[in-house]
Structure 1
Amino acid sequence: MHITERGAGYPVIFCHGFPHTGYIWHRQLAAVAAAGYHAIAPDLRGYGRTGPKDGPDAYTNLAVLADLLGLLDDIGAEQAVFVGLDFGAALVWEASLRAPERVAGVIVLNNPYAPRPPRAPTQLWAEAARRHFLHMDYFQKTGPADAELGANPREFLARVYYALSGDYHYLDTWRYPAEGTGYLDVLPDAPALPWSWLSVEELDVLAREFDRTGFSGGLGWYRALDRNWELTAEYADAKVGVPAYFVYGERDTDMEGFSGRDPLGVLRANSTDLRAVTEIAGAGHLLQLERTEQVDGLIVEYLRDLVPGGAGQRYSAASSG
């Protein structure tokens, strides 16, 4: 596992989604380190400089959580605060269920916790794909998406980041039929960079990584979601008990189209120590880039609550065994 780290003190682990690497958090690492914490952003399995894995269980949350707990052991930490977005959000929610003793708290962006659905996810997506294009269904078949996205990573990244931002309405991609349609067919053309929230240099860093690796590792996470569903049967009725903060963009597509009819009500009903829910006006999915200063301020504020000893507190060594 490749990590980027800054600062010293209590560990804060940032978990990214698709199509990102740990670099997507580089602004937050600087802010959190400046506040006196040990900020760590891994390239999660299959992304960046953390190599791809083989096998049907390679990209499950259970497997990736083992990587993260191994990281805690390696730095000698009993616990950490986990920050997550997108797939990283689902990962830290599951960490709070599977290993609450290692989770001092979670700060989640845009992807609220919800109980396990009664049916496997791909069944729901296949039904939706009979009505319109849905990337989550399109990504299930190995080959077409891997080739399409990998043909020009920089163009794909620019177009999908723009589409997911508050500057566009992502659910407009649902206007297209699924039959014979690829992802680039439904994504809007992106305006020329730099944008108000993303520089040419930042996109170049991300594009170089995906030029080198392709997108198959990240797509493996989509293809593992049914397996995640199977592996979480014992947590079907579980509630999140660790301290939790939730921040979301007013224009986030997950909140609008992928998290049910009442995502905040469901979150509140299933998190027993939910300390704050904050909406950020006008922002979309890439919250930490679109509203960096506001997000950084909230994360540091929440860390001061979650780590009572203060920013400079050293973490205790993990127990052996």
Structure 2
Amino acid sequence: MSQHVTEITHRLIPSPGGRIHLAEQGAGPLVLLLHGFPESWYSWRHQLPVLAAAGYRAVAIDVRGYGRSSKPLATDAYRMLDLVEDNVAAVHALGEESAVVIGHDWGATIAATSALLRPDVFRAVGLLSVPYTPPGGPRPSDVFARLGGDEEFYVSYFQEPGRAEAEIEPDVRGWLAGFYAALSADTMPAPGAPDPHFVSSGGTLRDRFPLGRLPAWLDDSDLDVYAGEFERTGVTGALNRYRNMDRDWEDLAAFHGAPITQPSLFVGGSMDASTTWLADAIKAYPTTLPGLVSSHVVDGCGHWIQQERPAEISRLLTDWLAALPA
């Protein structure tokens, strides 16, 4: 690593929703990194120094409702339009006019929507694990309600305020360990086992989590970081993202079917349901992501892609960034 790369620095910057916490390393063109559920800026800990050493100003934020960022009380303060405004505010507060935005899980959808709505600010977009699907189609709550038959899809399970909180918050550390394990390639349930994305009648998500073993990418100290943040903040801010999907559908009606035309990247894991369930979305990229530079499915990888395969994902990101127009 370059001797000129400084240590990760942390600070708070103003945003429309209060304050955004960010972790920053390096100098050069700005790359904004957005995490998913249930994580924090820390999910980019492997990529920050690599991007900085490659000559980029790498900034990973705590998304609104997470970590050290503000947590508005109103559920509708977590709609997608607000999160896009946060990202624009972050770019401008950092003294920049434009940035490359890269997201994982929910962060991928937030990154995609940021690029869609503000192409003047976000000149390229990278998506990890969750493919781009243009706004539109049926109302999301109707789609999720039809999944699973007698079982309840996890997104529907998250909708009622307080319900998932009652499962998670009495034992945040144990719940997170099980959730991470359930979606990791080396610890996920075997094929044919009950799907951890669904809840049985009267049950909980945790009923289907693997027990007793952390995935290889997650050690006790890493788990301590994640658990410590959610034990301090609770999980309502994080869950409120799911509780705004119908509002997003309404807010983005003018963009139904719209492609993202900036240069783009997609990387998914071959064992990640987010990638396999949305295989048709990947096939549609010639229409929905006409600026796609490269697309990759990493063999034998689960959902936590930049943590399960840090060196490979860092290489794919730096190669893509180096190929972008200046």
Q: Matched residue of 2:284: which SS?
A: helix
Preserved contact between residue 252 and residue 284 of structure 1 (Cα < 8 Å): yes
Q: Matched residue of 2:146: which SS?
A: helix
Preserved contact between residue 5 and residue 40 of structure 1 (Cα < 8 Å): yes
Q: CA deviation at 1:177?
A: 5.5
Is 1:67 matched up with 2:86?
A: yes
After superposing on structure 2, the runs of 4+ consecutive aligned residues of structure 1 that deviate more than 3 Å are 169-178
Q: CA deviation at 1:234?
A: 0.4
Partner of 2:211: 189
Partner of 1:149: 168
Query: Partner letter of residue 317 of structure 2?
Result: I
Is 1:104 matched up with 2:123?
A: yes
Preserved contact between residue 3 and residue 41 of structure 1 (Cα < 8 Å): yes
What is the 5 A alignment of 1:126-165? 126-165=145-184
The CA distance in 2 between the partners of 1:44 and 1:98, in whole Å, is 18
Query: Partner letter of residue 198 of structure 1?
Result: L
The CA distance in 2 between the partners of 1:133 and 1:190, in whole Å, is 25
Q: CA deviation at 1:190?
A: 4.4
Partner of 2:3: none
Partner of 1:314: none
Preserved contact between residue 13 and residue 83 of structure 1 (Cα < 8 Å): yes
Question: 1:159-181 deviations in whole A, cap 9, x for unaligned?
Answer: 11111111225884438653201
TM-score for the superposition, normalised by structure 1: 0.90
Preserved contact between residue 158 and residue 190 of structure 1 (Cα < 8 Å): no
| Count of residues in correspondence between the two structures | 304
What is the 5 A alignment of 1:296-307? 296-307=314-325
Q: Matched residue of 2:174: which SS?
A: helix
Is 1:218 matched up with 2:243?
A: no
The structure carrying a bigger helix percent of its residues is 1
> Cα–Cα, structure 1 residues 42 and 170, in superposed 2: closer, same or farther, change >3 Å?
farther
Work out which of the residue numbers 11, 24, 31 in structure 1 matches 2:50. Answer: 31
Work out which of the residue numbers 280, 285, 309 in structure 2 matches 1:262. Answer: 280
The CA distance in 2 between the partners of 1:291 and 1:207, in whole Å, is 22
Query: Partner letter of residue 235 of structure 1?
Result: F
Q: CA deviation at 1:241?
A: 0.5
> Cα–Cα, structure 1 residues 27 and 151, in superposed 2: closer, same or farther, change >3 Å?
same
Query: Partner letter of residue 263 of structure 2?
Result: P
Query: Partner letter of residue 78 of structure 1?
Result: E
Q: Matched residue of 2:241: which SS?
A: helix
Partner of 1:273: 291
Q: Matched residue of 2:66: which SS?
A: coil
% same residue: 35
> Cα–Cα, structure 1 residues 190 and 234, in superposed 2: closer, same or farther, change >3 Å?
farther
Gaps of 5+ in 1: 309-321
Preserved contact between residue 96 and residue 103 of structure 1 (Cα < 8 Å): yes
Q: CA deviation at 1:54?
A: 2.7
Work out which of the residue numbers 259, 271, 292 in structure 2 matches 1:251. Answer: 271
The CA distance in 1 between the partners of 2:241 and 2:199, in whole Å, is 24
> Cα–Cα, structure 1 residues 45 and 140, in superposed 2: closer, same or farther, change >3 Å?
same
What is the 5 A alignment of 1:9-24? 9-24=28-43
Query: Partner letter of residue 223 of structure 1?
Result: R
Q: CA deviation at 1:255?
A: 1.5
Question: 1:273-310 deviations in whole A, cap 9, x for unaligned?
Answer: 111111111001100011010001111111111253xx
Query: Partner letter of residue 111 of structure 2?
Result: V
The CA distance in 2 between the partners of 1:74 and 1:243, in whole Å, is 24
The CA distance in 2 between the partners of 1:46 and 1:136, in whole Å, is 18
Q: CA deviation at 1:117?
A: 3.8
TM-score for the superposition, normalised by structure 2: 0.89
Preserved contact between residue 189 and residue 210 of structure 2 (Cα < 8 Å): no
Is 1:178 matched up with 2:200?
A: yes
The structure carrying a bigger strand percent of its residues is 2
> Cα–Cα, structure 1 residues 216 and 170, in superposed 2: closer, same or farther, change >3 Å?
farther
Q: Which has the higher contact order (CA 8 A, sep 6+)?
A: 1
* Cα RMSD after superposing both structures: 1.7
Moved more, 292-301 or 119-128: 119-128
Query: Partner letter of residue 66 of structure 1?
Result: E
Is 1:202 matched up with 2:222?
A: yes
Partner of 1:316: none
The CA distance in 1 between the partners of 2:179 and 2:209, in whole Å, is 7
Preserved contact between residue 157 and residue 207 of structure 1 (Cα < 8 Å): yes
Q: CA deviation at 1:107?
A: 1.2
